Structure 1
């Protein structure tokens, strides 16, 4: 895209989740395996922190639920006894089998985490289901919300600050979604928040009387800034 940056300067929600699992939860091996509802990006971040996992891109789980699966999940023979965390992200191959396994692990005591809970994903000038739409069936079935490690979670803000040692008062949060990006900056007590109108939220949402999340400034697109 022509934007100069280094890998170390990108701090995504999957990386934040991997950091939280490995450095905050610190589950004792071997009961520290993660069942993933997500794609290879989540797996790569877990690998970077030496966190064991299952599920994810496992091709054997990309199939319809079979009658014997109900029995094998119920009696535990299909479950990995070392799973201590269920981590949901954006999964392009989510299905009933994966959701059933995720619920079974939660019922067995696994912790419920999410890389992020964005309801939608902007692409091709419209919106598609986001990572939050993947975790929603488990939220309904389990009756509890996951701990989200993406924006606006301040656990993510603390992790970023710990890595980059930036001055919050001299930092501006730029984003296109009010309830994640802008809320992240406000709750993190950053020096400013800037909304761009090229993604999810529209200016009518925060200019309306009584709006709960209001950025300090907004531009139609990031390119409107003259620096």
Structure 2
């Protein structure tokens, strides 16, 4: 269970402040990481039945010139904890990136805490532990935080009723984490086999006890799931719409990029005309959870990732140092583009540059 400080991320606003015919306002401070002078990020306001919601366009990224990492030892000595993204930083698909084992061993030898945070929801923490082991990396399950776990942890933090069900558009990782947390669920990969026979007068039934729809990356995504999730969100009173992440692309193999979980989430956004609560990066939910669990000061954390709009923004929203590696999605031309407004504190080619006092030239 989360501590009071993290669980209080969802705060109901007093009903006395509501307009006639309006519904309660929930302030999701910790979840969003978005910033606004008018109201907290992630707020859902339903006034006269017209929902208003903060989106990623409201994020205020850090706008300063980034520096190439030249003195790795100085950065290492300045923090206590390193949070690493996985895809594009530790591995690509099922292939380990060069120099990773030696780098992690060196950081542990220096007494640094290592944490691994991934937006990929296809596996549970236990399953990710097995992947690390298969790749020859000694990583404890307690050091791994996937967005599948974040979805279950969020439901725990709001005391989601145990008599309600969760409909899952996603894979086994979400199901396993929900089961470990004691929640009832339906959907998942099994619904990937279902088909809808459209004929005159056909009405698709759905479970009215579903109180939340969780959407993650799903290789078994189909029209049945879109319609079922849409019915739950639109017709079940108070049904939550939760996304593990909105990543545009992901690394399923090391040969190319593949459509990410954001494509599945986008389909439900289109059909429901609602924005989801995002529990993965760049939402600060997992950052606050980690800081609370390990008793870490965020100023003593360095977030290392390959994506500007998720990893680096995640670190910046959490008040951490940030290091971009160019071993994954982001290239040097993307980083230096005038259109890019998200600037990390440092950048380098790959995390094995930590092994040299002078980081490798990009």
If the length of structure 1 is used for normalisation, what is the TM-score?
0.90
Please tell me whether the aligned partners of residues 182 and 193 of structure 1 are also in contact (alpha carbons under 8 angstroms): yes
> Which residue of structure 2 aligns with residue 117 of structure 1?
246
1:58 aligns to 2:190 (yes or no): yes
Question: Residues 114 and 128 from structure 1, CA distance in 2 versus in 1: closer, same or farther, beyond 3 angstroms?
Answer: same
Instruction: Give how far 1:208 is off.
Output: 2.7
Task: Tell me which of 132, 155, 160 is aligned to 1:27.
Answer: 160
Task: Tell me which of 137, 145, 158 is aligned to 1:11.
Answer: 145
1:146 aligns to 2:276 (yes or no): yes
> Which residue of structure 2 aligns with residue 187 of structure 1?
317
Alignment partner of 2:174: what SS? helix
Task: Tell me which of 163, 169, 180 is aligned to 1:37.
Answer: 169
Question: In the TM superposition, what whole-angstrom CA distance separates every residue of 1:55-87 from its partner, at most 9, and x where no partner exists?
Answer: 01225x5133212697342xxxx3112100010
> Which residue of structure 2 aligns with residue 48 of structure 1?
180
Q: Which runs of 5+ in 2 are unaligned?
A: 1-134, 357-362
Instruction: Give how far 1:126 is off.
Output: 1.4
Q: Which runs of 5+ in 1 are unaligned?
A: none
Structure possessing the higher radius of gyration over alpha carbons = 2
Task: Name the structure with the higher helix share.
Answer: 1
> Which residue of structure 2 aligns with residue 126 of structure 1?
256
Question: Residues 131 and 141 from structure 1, CA distance in 2 versus in 1: closer, same or farther, beyond 3 angstroms?
Answer: same
Structure 1 runs, 4 residues or longer, greater than 6 Å off: none
Q: Which structure 2 residues correspond to residues 58-207 of structure 1 after superposition, within 5 A?
A: 58=190, 61-67=192-198, 71-73=202-204, 78-108=205-235, 109=237, 110-122=239-251, 123-190=253-320, 192-207=321-336
**Aligned residue-pair number:** 219
When the two chains are superposed, the root-mean-square deviation of aligned CA atoms in Å is 1.8
